[in-house]
Amino acid sequence: MKILLMGNPNVGKSAFFSRLTGVNVVISNYPGTTVEFKQGKMKCGGKLADVIDVPGVYSLEAASKAEEVAVKMLKEGDVVINIVDATNLERNLYLTMQLLEKNIPVIIALNFWDEARHKGIKIDIEKLERELNVPVVPTVALTGEGIKELVSKIRYACPHKCRGCEKSRWNRVGGVINEVQRIEEKEHTVFETFEDLSIKPLTGIPVAVIILALSFLAVRIIGEGLIGFIFEPLFDLYLPVLGWIGNYLGTGIVHDIVIGTFIEGKIDYGQSMGLLSTGLYVPIAMVLPYVFAFYLVLGILEDSGYLPRLATLVDKLMHKVGMHGLAIIPMMLGLGCNVPGALGLRILETKRQRFIAATLMAIAVPCMAQTAMVFGLLGKYGIEGLGILYLTLFAVWAVLGLILNKTMKGTTPETFMEIPPYRVPYFKGLMKKLGMRIHSFLREAVPFVLLGVLIINILYVTGIIHFLGETASPLVVGMLGLPEEAVGALVMGFLRKDIAVGMLLPLGLSMKQLIIASAVLTMYFPCIATFVVLFKELGWKDLVKASVIMIFVSFFVGGILNLVL
């Protein structure tokens, strides 16, 4: 049996799914799309049943990729558990009416039952069952209340005769609401007061700045802590294994590609080009800690109900640059690490939006490694040097976004988001979602990172990178005003930004040259880890287009800075 969990966004489906399924959960893309869904198993009537968490939708009249996928999946299901937000019954019942018209077995989980009580919302369950002619079970997915009763009633779900189908859906919804619901006056809680403050621009923008600053700080502390106390010590223990493999391979090109270069009997994971050294160190010891930290913080922001408010606040700005408000999520992720930022592009419905977001993120959203690079180069010049650089990056982000929005075919769809009340995240569901995202990152990103590092290593040991550096020398020296010695650093920055810093610092560059070098290093390419993930997310044609834009913009802006400064 195949059980579909269906409902509007933000009705607690993730917590519900976690309650019903075990640990063996799979995240997949629906065939032919980038829309994700989760699939797990549960026991129902003594047999195993497949449980599918269908993407959240407001209607079956498909107006987005997610709704198109939901309609297709509905044809594949045996039973639908329609999860309804008891605190917003009228809005949720529109989808319910559409499901009832499909003549498929439906059972309704009236979720957030505790919140409805706290808000003074009274719903007569027996009347609601009679009006809809399907089983209705009040639930609280956060605590598990009602879940057992719901599972026991799944076998009673059956196709039914739709009462009132001759009326328009909204008329039917209105009639049901008048019969089953009444609301008592109740004073605002602290959470409800904060809800109002965080959605109005005058107060919401300062709140957003504070929350994002705290989120960024948390990611940095957690990420750096994991690197310093767990992953770097683990890779120190891994060093003898590399030594044994290196001795077995002997000297030569194979050794350099697989292991890298030993310096005084040790390997510097930051500078060695080996597949088994840098190739593992970059995705696992450098990227994974920030991926873990960001997904943890992101999960809290999602489950607490804050992200829809943030998306609403920035929606107007994002539309100017060809995206809707939800694009703020991959941009946020990119500030910590561009790899999860690239994976986060999947929340954007159209190929056009994903291309614009990927290009802007890769060019003008510096990750933590790039930020460390910038401070390493320009920190001694204080606000003057750093201010010029970051104002330049923001200007590039805005202007390039405007240009791409005007020149690319297509439009940006409006953001139809329901703003949920603030809720305390369900810890078990939060951890399960975090685990699935980390597993997805390790499965999808790491093999591509290893492939990218292998390609770069081959180019490096065969001298092709050196040839590219010599070829670009006239452009770097003439257009950017940088010394010839900086060419190698710019080429090497594609693999590791911090290596590029180490190569630039001894050159005695002026503040102007350091600003130009930092701008070009930040914009001209993301790191190899992000580059290969973008290849997977965008495809090679769009990646080539984005790469051409990156190279052109970085050298154009570098040339402008050289003239202006």
Top pLDDT among 397 and 532 is at 397
According to the model, what pLDDT value does residue 343 have?
Answer: 76
CB 215 within 8 A of CB 224: no
According to the model, what pLDDT value does residue 55 have?
Answer: 86
Does residue 550 have a pLDDT over 60?
A: yes
According to the model, what pLDDT value does residue 350 have?
Answer: 80
Task: Return the CATH superfamily for domain 2-183.
Answer: P-loop containing nucleotide triphosphate hydrolases (3.40.50.300)
Top pLDDT among 486 and 451 is at 486
Residues β-bridged to residue 81: 5, 107
Q: What is the C-alpha to C-alpha distance for residues 405 and 409, in angstroms, rounded to an integer?
A: 8
According to the model, what pLDDT value does residue 396 have?
Answer: 94
Q: What are 7-37's pLDDT values in tens digits?
A: 998 888 887 887 787 655 666 666 666 577 8
Q: What amino acid occupies position 504?
A: L
130-133: long-range pairs with CB below 8 Å, 24+: 131/163, 131/175, 131/176, 131/179, 131/180, 132/96, 132/100, 132/108, 132/163, 132/176, 133/100, 133/160, 133/161, 133/162, 133/163
According to the model, what pLDDT value does residue 148 have?
Answer: 84
According to the model, what pLDDT value does residue 32 have?
Answer: 64
Stretch 470-484: mean pLDDT: 81
Q: What are 434-454's pLDDT values in tens digits?
A: 888 788 777 766 676 677 667
The tokens for 166 are 């001759």
Q: What amino acid occupies position 299?
A: G
Q: Give this prediction's pTM.
A: 0.62
Angle at 263 between CA 258 and CA 264, to 5 degrees: 130
Residues β-bridged to residue 3: 51, 79
CB 467 within 8 A of CB 52: no
Banded pLDDT at 245 (limits 50, 70, 90)? confident
According to the model, what pLDDT value does residue 530 have?
Answer: 79
Stretch 188-200: mean pLDDT: 74
> Cα–Cα distances in Å, from 136 out to 4, 129, 183, 329?
16, 6, 20, 35
According to the model, what pLDDT value does residue 137 have?
Answer: 92
DSSP 391-452: HHHHHHHHHHHHHHHHHSSS-PPP-----PPP----HHHHHHHHHHHHHHHHHHHHHHHHHH
Sole residue written with tokens 């502390």 = 221
According to the model, what pLDDT value does residue 186 have?
Answer: 67
The tokens for 530 are 């992000």
Neighbours of 230 (CB within 10 A): 12
Stretch 109-116: mean pLDDT: 88
According to the model, what pLDDT value does residue 404 have?
Answer: 92
CB 374 within 8 A of CB 386: yes
According to the model, what pLDDT value does residue 429 have?
Answer: 80
Does residue 234 have a pLDDT over 60?
A: yes
Q: What is the C-alpha to C-alpha distance for residues 515 and 563, in angstroms, rounded to an integer?
A: 13
Q: What are 489-531's pLDDT values in tens digits?
A: 777 676 666 556 656 766 788 899 889 988 888 888 777 777 8
According to the model, what pLDDT value does residue 125 have?
Answer: 93
Stretch 83-102: mean pLDDT: 91
Q: What amino acid occupies position 29?
A: N
Q: What are 47-66's pLDDT values in tens digits?
A: 888 899 898 888 888 777 77
Rounded to the nearest 10 degrees, the angle between the axes of helix 382-407 and helix 511-523 is 40
Banded pLDDT at 107 (limits 50, 70, 90)? very high
According to the model, what pLDDT value does residue 445 have?
Answer: 62
Percentage of the chain exceeding pLDDT 70: 84
CB 111 within 8 A of CB 12: yes
Residue boundaries of the structural domains of the chain: 2-183, 204-564
User: What does the mean pLDDT of the chain come to?
Assistant: 81
Q: What is the C-alpha to C-alpha distance for residues 524 and 490, in angstroms, rounded to an integer?
A: 9
Q: In the chain, helix, strand, coil percent, each to 5?
A: 65, 10, 25
Stretch 109-135: mean pLDDT: 89
Which of 136, 147, 55, 134 has its CA nearest to residue 102?
134
Pairing label, strands 2-6, 79-85: parallel
CB 483 within 8 A of CB 510: no
Does residue 411 have a pLDDT over 80?
A: no
Phi then psi for residue 109, to 5 deg, are -100, 110
Percentage of the chain exceeding pLDDT 90: 15
Residues constituting the chain:
565
The tokens for 197 are 């403050």
Does residue 369 have a pLDDT over 70?
A: no
Does residue 261 have a pLDDT over 70?
A: no
According to the model, what pLDDT value does residue 311 have?
Answer: 81
Does residue 161 have a pLDDT over 70?
A: no
Does residue 143 have a pLDDT over 70?
A: no
According to the model, what pLDDT value does residue 163 have?
Answer: 61
